[in-house]
A and B are shown apart, each in its own frame.
Chain A
Amino acid sequence: SQWGEENLQALSIQEGEDVTMNCSYKTYTTVVQWYRQKSGKGPAQLILIRSNEREKRSGRLRATLDTSSQSSSLSITGTLATDTAVYFCATDSSYQGGRALIFGTGTTVSVSP
């Protein structure tokens, strides 16, 4: 598997709290993407961070990438009930002619109003 075992499987928090989830990967990648999947929906990209970036922000989201430890994190500040979802990190597989994604096992985040 491309992914390590550090993914926290499930988190339950109250609205307004901040949350951070982590993942580690085993083989070199040029890009780490974070996707969110709400119940009954397909995954949707939240943020993409490249190997030459250490941090990327988008609204309430902050992603970090440490290529030396091959790990990435996603933080959400001031969570809302609508942030309830499964969050996946994904790397590219560098297949010839394109980039299929390799997804981690996901972290389930439940935000209570």
Chain B
Amino acid sequence: EAGVTQSPRYAVLQEGQAVSFWCDPISGHDTLYWYQQPRDQGPQLLVYFRDEAVIDNSQLPSDRFSAVRPKGTNSTLKIQSAKQGDTATYLCASSLGYQDTQYFGPGTRLLVL
């Protein structure tokens, strides 16, 4: 069974640039999560979906961050006008229904200069 895949693995931007991260969850997993993990901290939830619907995006900085999952499978997280404070690893995870276990991808490491 293929795991969660993410791309790109690394991104380096200047402040003010935009970037998109892509996630392909485990086949059949209907719940998809995006986490932000600053250096030396635990992952922090940004947004999560059940199928194509956003369940909670209250932690997403809505003025610059957006996330979609249009067909309930792959998902894209976008940062408009990145800031140095956005430097972190962005993790995607998926799960099946209400099961507790989440399966994480390898993450995208973002550096904003």
Interface residues of A (CB under 8 A from B): 31, 33, 40-45, 48, 88, 90, 92-93, 95-106
User: In the bound complex, do residue A42 and residue B93 qualify as a contact, i.e. CB atoms below 8 Å apart?
Assistant: yes
Shortest Cβ distance from B59 into chain A, in angstroms?
A: 9
4 closest residue pairs by CB, A with B: A42-B104, A103-B42, A100-B45, A97-B55
Interface residues of B (CB under 8 A from A): 4, 31, 33, 40-45, 48, 50, 55-56, 91, 93, 95, 98, 100-107
What CA separation (Å) do A106 and B93 show in the bound complex? Answer: 18
User: In the bound complex, do residue B106 and residue A88 qualify as a contact, i.e. CB atoms below 8 Å apart?
Assistant: no
User: In the bound complex, do residue B45 and residue A42 qualify as a contact, i.e. CB atoms below 8 Å apart?
Assistant: no
User: In the bound complex, do residue A100 and residue B56 qualify as a contact, i.e. CB atoms below 8 Å apart?
Assistant: yes
Overall SS of chain A's interface: loop
Shortest Cβ distance from B87 into chain A, in angstroms?
A: 16
Residues of A within 8 A of B50 (CB): 97-98
Nearest B residue to A31 via CB reads B100
Nearest B residue to A92 via CB reads B100
Q: If A42-B93, A95-B56, A97-B50 touch, does A104 touch B104 (CB 8 Å cutoff)? A: no
Known contacts A42-B91, A101-B43; 13 further A-B pairs (Cβ under 8 A): A40-B106, A42-B106, A43-B43, A43-B91, A45-B102, A96-B55, A97-B50, A98-B31, A98-B98, A100-B33, A100-B48, A101-B33, A105-B41
